[in-house]
């Protein structure tokens, strides 16, 4: 049990520190430029989709964390956030680049294009469905003291009250509980053995494993593809549905948005992955 606790604490600390740094950076830049940066990105949807997808396509989870942070602060729409979540392959990107670099680059490029198109379509679809995205954080406000560069006010209101108490504490709690639960479950369930025994269920497993808000379990699909044991379409389905660790901070902000993004990505993954499977990929 101590092994699970120590890993959960280590992962929580790592994610929380990264999120804290990104939140302070984005908040500081927005305050320093008096809201211009937010207005510039948010004023044109194509800028939102492009910024989010580029950040999501970067190897690792840091770019996706930045997208979540910007979504919380009202820089990005739900469609733009989804675009970045489609483009990201989390920490598995590093393994893919090492194991099969040509396929990895091709996968990233394809997810980038799909993310742009799917994110744009989602933003058009939301009003039709009557779905409202979670409003951005109301605590992120530029005050008169900020315009006068009152640093004592900035640290007390923005960093302490807004970022640390308003976001980081909840993110740390959600991350710790999620990682502890997933680690405990994965230790009692051999995913690779189950897949070898039930190959007919591999598409369902690619989706279900992709739902886990953590990097690690998805490496099974990377390993199997590298060994020629599964087709590209299965790796593609899992890559679309999964987001690495990036959904952990979102869980503390809006579970409804997380569920909507995941449902949208499942439908997209099955439709596009099914086409790839039928053409022999």
Q: In this predicted structure, what is the pLDDT of residue 42?
A: 84
Is the CB of residue 220 less than 8 Å from the CB of residue 96?
no
pTM for this prediction: 0.81
Q: For residue 175, what are its two tokens?
A: 């991350």
For residue 247, pLDDT over 90 is answered with no
C-alpha–C-alpha distance, residues 247 and 233, integer Å: 23
What three-state secondary structure class fits 132?
coil
Q: For residue 236, what are its two tokens?
A: 């593609």
Could you write out the DSSP letters of every residue in 58-81? SSSSHHHHHHHHHHHTTSS-HHHH
Give the pLDDT confidence of 110-143 residue by residue, as tens digits: 999 999 999 999 999 988 888 776 665 444 555 4
Give the pLDDT confidence of 56-95 residue by residue, as tens digits: 998 888 888 889 988 988 889 999 999 999 999 988 888 8
By CB neighbour count within 10 A (0-12 exposed, 13-18 middle, 19+ buried), where does 271 fall? exposed
Q: For residue 272, what are its two tokens?
A: 């596009």
C-alpha–C-alpha distance, residues 88 and 110, integer Å: 11
Alpha helices, DSSP H, located in the chain: 2-32, 36-42, 45-57, 62-72, 78-87, 92-99, 101-129, 144-147, 151-153, 169-187, 191-197, 202-210, 219-226, 232-241, 247-251, 255-278
Considering the chain, what percentage of its residues have pLDDT values greater than 90? 31
Per the model's pLDDT, the better-predicted residue between 154 and 148 turns out to be: 154
C-alpha–C-alpha distance, residues 187 and 197, integer Å: 18
Give the pLDDT confidence of 156-205 residue by residue, as tens digits: 676 777 677 766 777 788 778 877 877 777 677 666 676 667 666 888 98
């Amino acid at each position: 049990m101590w092994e699970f606790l120590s890993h959960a604490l280590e992962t929580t600390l790592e994610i929380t520190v990264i999120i804290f740094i990104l939140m302070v950076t984005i908040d500081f830049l927005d305050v320093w430029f008096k809201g211009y940066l937010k207005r510039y990105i948010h004023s044109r949807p194509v800028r939102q989709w492009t910024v989010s997808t580029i950040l999501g396509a970067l190897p690792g989870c840091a770019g996706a964390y930045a997208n979540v942070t910007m979504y919380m602060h009202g820089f990005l729409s739900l469609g733009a956030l989804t675009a970045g979540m489609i483009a990201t392959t989390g920490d598995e990107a590093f393994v893919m680049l090492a194991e099969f670099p040509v396929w990895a680059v091709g996968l990233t490029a394809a997810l980038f294009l799909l993310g742009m198109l799917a994110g744009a379509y989602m933003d058009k679809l939301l009003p039709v469905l009557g779905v409202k995205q979670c409003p951005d954080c109301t605590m992120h406000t530029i005050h008169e003291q900020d315009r006068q560069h009152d640093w004592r006010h900035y640290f007390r209101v923005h960093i302490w009250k807004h970022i640390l108490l308003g976001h980081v504490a909840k993110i740390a709690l959600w991350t710790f509980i999620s990682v502890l639960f997933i680690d405990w479950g994965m230790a009692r369930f051999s995913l690779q053995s189950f897949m070898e025994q039930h190959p007919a269920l591999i598409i369902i497993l690619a989706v279900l494993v992709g739902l886990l808000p953590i990097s690690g379990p998805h490496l099974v699909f990377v390993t199997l593809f590298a060994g020629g044991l599964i087709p590209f379409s299965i790796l593609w389905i899992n890559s679309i549905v999964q987001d690495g660790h990036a959904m952990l901070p979102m869980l503390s902000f809006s579970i409804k948005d997380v569920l909507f993004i995941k449902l949208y990505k499942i439908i997209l993954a099955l439709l596009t992955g099914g086409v790839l499977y039928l053409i022999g990929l």
